Amino acid sequence: MHDEKKYYFCYMDSSLSTLKNLLLGLLISLHCFAAFSQSSDWKLLSKPEQIQSALKVAEESKNSEPAKAADWAQKAYDVAGSTGDQDAMARASFIMGEAWTALKSFSKAKAKFERCAAHAETAGNFDLLSDCMQKLVAFSVKENDIKNMARYAQMAASLLGKKGRSASGNRPQGSGSDTRFQQLSQENTSLHREIDNLRQQLAGSTSNLKTLDHERAVIADAKEQAELKQQQAEIQNKEFEQKINNMSVEKAKALLLLERKASERRRIEAEYQKDIAQKDREIKVQELKAERSQGLRNILIMGIAGALLVMVLLFNRFNANKQAKEILEEKNKLIEKEQQRSEELLLNILPPAIAGELKQNGKARARSAEEVSVLFSDFKNFTTLAESLSPEQLVAELDYCFKGFDFIISQYNIEKIKTIGDAYMCAAGLSSNSGNAIKMVRAATEMQQFLKAYKDMKIARNEPYFEARIGIHTGPVVAGVVGNKKFAYDIWGDTVNLAARMEQNSEAEKINISETTYQKVRYDFDCEYRGKLSVKNKGEVEMYFVNGPLT
């Protein structure tokens, strides 16, 4: 009894301390939410905004002002009910449950958490449903309500079945999750071992109770025998008294001596009865202690079971959050990969500066360049050769040659403009004017060398081959992107037209350049003057064949 009073006063001191801290927290946080609670603009918001605003105020107030949190959560619940938002109704009910718990109104809090569980299950919010189950299990443990605790445990098991059906066979592999899982498994094994020890102790207590019952029965039998003996002694005393009256003095003395012995025996029997009563009281005290110890063990077992359930729920929630995070990371990597592919594709179509401007502004302005070397090439007798090849072979041959051209111009930072049939067009100097004519003539020389090796291979196989005419002219151009779909980067100007005329007046396996280009490369290449040749719409134009680099 003394221990119970001590425990009661300790509990009261702890409760008063908790209440004091709660009141202090309420006073500190009161001014933080006063402005918003007095706001009259809340009703002017849309219903979704009203719901979010009310939930925010309720969430922020639930620890400092639980009554205010309950009111705002009820407002959010009413508005969500008018819109049919089950998830918002579940969240509002959960906050009301926490607020009523803080206000010590446990019956209302329990009802709100049960309503939260119903809405969360309808909305498919298993995380919130898991939190509700934890709250309800805690209430059942606190109230020692085994029936409701079993019901909530069954509901939690059903929830785990729904959430874990897909995750049970797909637990993510990794050092962090494996370590956490091993820790939880070890804690689970330790708790089960503790439960087994408590059960063994309970079995030992039960055995002790049986032993005490047996001793009590033995003592009761001894007590009955003593009472029977006492009754017999009283009868004998009466008989002795009658005999004493008829006996002589000597006999009276002898009988008196016997009476004294009988009195001494009765005294011993009385002391024995006191010992029996004392043992009986000790047995009752031990029984009360055993019952109290068994009750505490039952409470401890229920608490351990609740803790195990909470640990399982937390573990499943941890796994679900980790899986969601991994899925999100995979999606982000996929998005980054696709974005990189789209940027690479855009850079294959457009120059970097044009592509950047197009991505940033959605359009690209036209740009002028004062000194650009433009190259045109086409294949000699292409139509005749095309008739001797199948469409598939023709496309394969063009693809082989143009890929070779692409590789060569990429080494000199030359921009490919387009291909039209068997014609190939590129330009140098769109981003920099430094030595672009020399780079273009070097690239053209490598193109002809590439086609010469291609020709030798085809002759060795007795197959048809392509021979190219190349023309180059240097001058100003305008460059830009045309169209809204299937963007096409192109260049315009008289320079482009004159470069095309250079190619038309060239010969197979030759590089024909204009006077302007010749002035740029004459100190680096051996050029053969061809004189003035007539060009359509241009009159006579001076032209040169490039024989090769100067040694």
Do the Cβ atoms of 470 and 447 come closer than 8 Å?
A: yes
Query: Are 155 and 227 part of one and the same domain?
Result: no
Distance between CA 319 and CA 307 in Å, rounded? 18
Residues 423-443, buried b or exposed e (16+ Cβ, 10 A)? ebbbbbbbbeeebbbbbbbbb
| Distance from the first to the final alpha carbon of the chain | 116
H or E element at residue 485: none
Outline where 103-125 has alpha helix (H).
Answer: 106-123
pLDDT of 188: 47
What Rg, from alpha-carbon coordinates, does the chain have? 52
> Would residue 283 count as lying in a domain?
yes
Of 75, 78, 155, 98, which is closest to residue 121 (Cα–Cα)?
155
Distance between CA 381 and CA 85 in Å, rounded? 74
Q: Which residues pair with 61 in a beta bridge?
A: none
Query: Are 411 and 278 part of one and the same domain?
Result: no
Query: Are 157 and 197 part of one and the same domain?
Result: no
Place of tokens 């180059």: 472
Q: What is the DSSP letter of 433?
A: -
Query: Are 225 and 283 part of one and the same domain?
Result: yes
Query: Are 330 and 219 part of one and the same domain?
Result: yes
Compute φ and ψ for 182, nearest 5 degrees: -65, -40
Query: Are 83 and 33 part of one and the same domain?
Result: yes
pLDDT of 187: 46
Place of tokens 């958490």: 113
Distance between CA 412 and CA 300 in Å, rounded? 81
Of 496, 508, 506, which is closest to residue 538 (Cα–Cα)?
496
> Would residue 459 count as lying in a domain?
yes
Do the Cβ atoms of 541 and 532 come closer than 8 Å?
A: yes
Query: Are 19 and 147 part of one and the same domain?
Result: yes
Query: Are 20 and 116 part of one and the same domain?
Result: yes
pLDDT of 31: 41
CATH number, position 418: 3.30.70.1230
Cβ count within 10 A of residue 3: 8
Give every CB contact of residue 309 below 8 A, 6+ residues apart in sequence: 133, 134, 137, 153, 156
Of 245, 286, 241, which is closest to residue 262 (Cα–Cα)?
241
Query: Are 448 and 505 part of one and the same domain?
Result: yes
Residues 273-289, buried b or exposed e (16+ Cβ, 10 A)? eeeeeeeeeebeeeeee
pLDDT of 203: 60
Distance between CA 162 and CA 135 in Å, rounded? 20
> Would residue 173 count as lying in a domain?
no
Token code pair at residue 359: 């991505």
Give every CB contact of residue 453 below 8 A, 6+ residues apart in sequence: none
pTM higher than 0.75: no
Q: Do β-strands 510-514 and 468-482 pair in parallel, antiparallel, or remain unpaired?
A: parallel
Query: Are 391 and 307 part of one and the same domain?
Result: no
Do the Cβ atoms of 376 and 425 come closer than 8 Å?
A: yes
The amino acid occupying position 6 is: K
> Would residue 262 count as lying in a domain?
yes
Do the Cβ atoms of 123 and 88 come closer than 8 Å?
A: no
Query: Are 210 and 322 part of one and the same domain?
Result: yes
Do the Cβ atoms of 526 and 547 come closer than 8 Å?
A: yes
Boundary of a domain, candidates 129, 146, 165: 165
Do the Cβ atoms of 511 and 446 come closer than 8 Å?
A: no
Do the Cβ atoms of 233 and 258 come closer than 8 Å?
A: no
Number of domains in the chain: 3
Query: Are 220 and 125 part of one and the same domain?
Result: no
Q: Tens digit of pLDDT per residue, the chain (551 long)?
A: 445 444 444 444 555 556 555 655 555 455 444 444 444 566 778 888 888 888 888 888 888 898 898 899 898 899 888 888 899 898 989 999 888 988 888 888 888 888 898 888 888 888 888 888 888 888 877 777 766 776 776 676 666 555 555 444 444 444 444 554 455 455 445 545 654 554 565 566 556 657 766 777 877 777 788 788 777 777 877 776 666 566 556 666 776 777 777 788 888 878 878 878 888 888 888 888 877 878 788 888 888 888 888 888 888 888 888 888 888 877 777 777 766 665 555 555 566 656 666 666 555 677 888 899 999 999 998 988 888 889 999 999 999 999 999 999 999 989 999 999 999 999 999 877 667 999 999 999 999 999 999 999 999 999 889 999 999 999 999 988 876 665 678 899 999 999 999 999 999 999 999 999 999 999 999 999 999 999 888 889 999 999 999 87
CATH number, position 73: 1.25.40.10
Distance between CA 547 and CA 42 in Å, rounded? 85
**Domain enclosing residue 6, as ranges:** 2-165
